[in-house]
Chain A
Amino acid sequence: MKHIPWIILAIIGAVALSVTATVRGEQINALWIVVAALCTFLVAYRYYALFIARRVMRLDPARPTPALYRADGLDYVATDRRVLFGHHFAAIAGAGPLVGPVLAAQMGYLPGTLWIIAGVVLAGAVQDFMVLFVSMRRDGRSLGELVRMEMGPVAGTIALVGTFMIMVIILAVLALIVVKALAESPWGMFTVAATVPLAMVMGVYTRWIRPGRIGEVSILGFVGLILAIIFGQNVAASPFWGPVFTFTPVQLCWLLIGYGAIASVLPVWLLLAPRDYLSTFLKIGAIVALAVGIFIMAPPLRMPALTQFVGGGGPVWSGALFPFLFITIACGAVSGFHALISSGTTPKLIASEGDAPFIGYGGMLMEAFVAIMALVGASILDPGIYFAMNSPAAVLGATPESASAAVTAMGFPVSADILVQTAKDVGEHSIISRTGGAPTLAVAMAEIFSHVVGGPAMKAFWYHFAILFEALFILTAVDAGTRAGRFMLQDLIGLAVPSFRAHSSLAPGMIATALCVAAWGFFLYQGVTDPLGGVNTLWPVFGISNQMLAAVALMLSTVVLFRMKRDRFAWVTAVPTVWLLVCTLTAGTLKLVSADPKVGFLAHASIFSEAAARGEVLAPAKSMAEMRAIIFNDRVDAALCAIFLFVVLSLLLFTIRTCIAARRVNAPTAHEITPDMVPAE
């Protein structure tokens, strides 16, 4: 009897999913996708998550969690599961689930939708939940330590190196998105720049005027943000201030590198903490508003279900559906970075093992829902506008007429007037080749929000609100990520030079910060100066690295299941591991050795180096020095892919070895930490 509501839900989901998947040639409503996703997620949570909890992990609600046996009122606090859900979701959801699906829309809405729904249920949510479980049973330790405990010190160090490199790529790609969104946009630039002094005022307020009053100071900051958006329109229109806040991508790149270097060594209360309040609350608010807006507006999907780019050759990113769709949408379907959160603060706050499915599996389902909304956002736009915004300038040319001709030739007719008018509606000079996903999503959000509040006159405000919301939390991530990267680097160098580890001393900290900023700054600069727009090159590298980290987390989970003698159920983690390995190893190898210069880094490098040997300069390079830069960048990217391949393949060997060893023993060998092993605090 108790299954009947779930059966009804499953039927509704199946109907919605088949409508989404089978209707061709006519527009369907976005709510079909949303309903299909919601029903699938609820049913998956009710049955698959509970199956994993009860049968695979054998969670024991009576067993004390670290929050209980280590309780200190600070790091280890037994927390209400709903409160903890909010904390966990706010920590995992960022720009990733918003950008990836927007980029993936170049193949139509269907491939992305199906991958997000299937990926999260079978891989992403399983990964988050498993890592949370593994960490929760081991004192809330971090992913690197867990790998070391279960797979040995060498595997642990390899995992740490991989994690640091992923961090660098993430920071570079996030910063690139900000550059793409703010370049040549004085309105956007002013509002984002205004958040720096605004956050500092908030910091001073929480430090000296009313210490600890986060609610008050956030309201103050929010009012300041809205004023900055409204005032930004006047700044952009002013003949003096407009040009002052207009920057080229290269200028913005250097500004961001400088910002990252300075912001990450300032005291945390001055800039990072207050900016984090704003970005966190704005993020949650905007996500909720987007969900409400989509339900009220119920827009039709104007993007076709499938485009001709399924087979490859798309302008937004290169490569065919397999394997590149599965690395383009990383966050939202499965994201390795979550393994760091699930083995971070969350396992130290969980009050009962019984809460783990809700937090671990449920939290990731929620993020997948955000990804679905982003995909819907990109798909409700006129496909002509979508491709005009997301194709590189090299394809579109510089004028609305050339862009309109190029996009129409792709099969998505759009007039130059519409491109000009859309830019005008959102208060920008141009929307042509505004790659990176954020501007596209902002146009979509402006469409949805202005439908609910304010009408067309409010579009420009909502567009800049959406840009601000994305830029704000990306800048917070750049700042926080640089700090985190610095500590990772200090720990890694500390393996060779122990004195480098001292977190409090000045010189190692400064050196590590400089190295970290230089590392992501290098890739950012490379992306900004890339003639294909950078996102084209960097996003796949980011996707590959993030999915490889997911594969590592799932391999660790598989090892733990074997060592617990639960190998009967190891398929739960082994199947998604194999799928991620197939996708990332194929994608990584293609990026390395594909003969197609649009896909393979080395093929691209050899075309340019052969031309350079002949003394020719190939477009887009304008000089021999630029030719050499392109060749060098290609080789660095290729080396990076090779290192990622090495990391994941070596960890695969460790995994197989550990699983075989575990099978030879008759008793469980997992290194769980039980309460009696820890002295009471």
Chain B
Amino acid sequence: MRALLERMREMALLMVGQPSYDAYLRHMAQRHPDRPPMSRVEFFRNREQARYGGGGGRCC
């Protein structure tokens, strides 16, 4: 049940262009331990700009 709710939360966030922050942290820890990762808010703003800055991909 918890897993299901978590997945639905993740789905809702990705629908509006916000991928998982935890996954980002895991990626940074694994591949770039030397670089400080963005904070949660920086990550949010970065993704917001990426989704909407170029117009955003959605259909009629």
Residues of A at under 8 Å CB distance from B? 71-75, 77, 79-80, 82-87, 90-96, 170, 174, 206, 211-212, 214-215, 268-269, 272-273, 276-277, 280-281, 284, 331, 335, 337-338, 340-341, 344-345, 349, 476-477, 480-487, 546, 681
Contact = CB atoms under 8 A, between A and B. Distances in A.
A74 B47 contact: yes
Contact of A214 (B13, B46, B52): B13
Contacts of A344: 57
The 3 lowest CB-CB distance pairs between A and B, nearest first, are A484-B55, A212-B44, A73-B27
Interface string B21-53: 001111110010000000011011111111111
Nearest to B11: A86
- Which residue among A91, A94, A485, A546 has the maximum number of chain B CB atoms within 10 Å of its CB? A91
A337 B58 CA distance: 9
Given A73-B24, A276-B52, A480-B52, A79 B14 contact: yes
A284 B15 contact: yes
Contacts of B46: 74
Given A93-B59, A94-B58, 19 more contacts: A73-B27, A77-B24, A79-B19, A83-B7, A85-B11, A87-B14, A91-B59, A211-B41, A273-B48, A281-B12, A284-B15, A335-B59, A480-B55, A483-B53, A483-B56, A484-B56, A485-B55, A487-B54, A546-B60
A484 B55 CA distance: 4
B48 A486 contact: no
Contacts of A72: 27
Contact of A86 (B12, B17, B45, B59): B12
- Secondary structure class of chain B's binding surface, majority of residues: helix
Interface of B: 7, 9-20, 23-28, 31, 40-41, 43-60
Contact of A272 (B15, B31, B52): B52
**Interface core residue of A211, A338, A486 (most chain B CB under 10 Å):** A211
Contact of B16 (A80, A92, A96, A214): A214
Given A268-B49, A273-B48, A281-B12, A80 B56 contact: no
Contacts of A345: 17, 57
Interface centre among A83, A93, A280, A349 (most CB of B within 10 A): A83
B60 A331 contact: yes
A281 B13 CA distance: 10
Contacts of B10: 80, 83
A70 to B, nearest CB: 11
B59 A277 contact: no
B55 A483 contact: yes
Nearest to A272: B52
8 contacts: A72-B27, A77-B19, A80-B10, A93-B59, A94-B60, A212-B41, A480-B55, A484-B55
A488 B54 CA distance: 10
Given A83-B10, A90-B15, A341 B59 contact: yes
A477 to B, nearest CB: 6
Contacts of B59: 91-94, 96, 331, 335, 337-338, 340-341
A340 B41 CA distance: 29
Contacts of B49: 268
A349 B16 CA distance: 14
Given A71-B31, A94-B60, A477-B60, A280 B44 contact: no
A337 B57 CA distance: 10
B57 A268 contact: no
A104 to B, nearest CB: 16
A84 B13 CA distance: 11
A82 B40 CA distance: 24
Given A79-B19, A268-B52, A273-B48, A335 B60 contact: yes
Given A83-B7, A94-B60, A96-B60, A74 B24 contact: yes
B5 to A, nearest CB: 12
A83 B14 contact: yes
A268 B45 CA distance: 10
A269 B28 CA distance: 26
B50 to A, nearest CB: 7
A215 B31 CA distance: 30
A85 B60 CA distance: 18
A99 to B, nearest CB: 9
A431 B40 CA distance: 49
B11 A341 contact: no
Given A79-B14, A84-B14, A480 B24 contact: no
B14 A86 contact: yes
B37 to A, nearest CB: 8
B60 A170 contact: yes
Contacts of A93: 59
Given A92-B59, A96-B60, A276 B16 contact: yes
A215 B54 CA distance: 24
A212 B40 CA distance: 8
Contacts of A86: 11-12, 14-15
B34 to A, nearest CB: 14
A415 to B, nearest CB: 36
Given A73-B28, A341-B57, A483 B52 contact: yes
Interface centre among B13, B17, B40, B58 (most CB of A within 10 A): B58
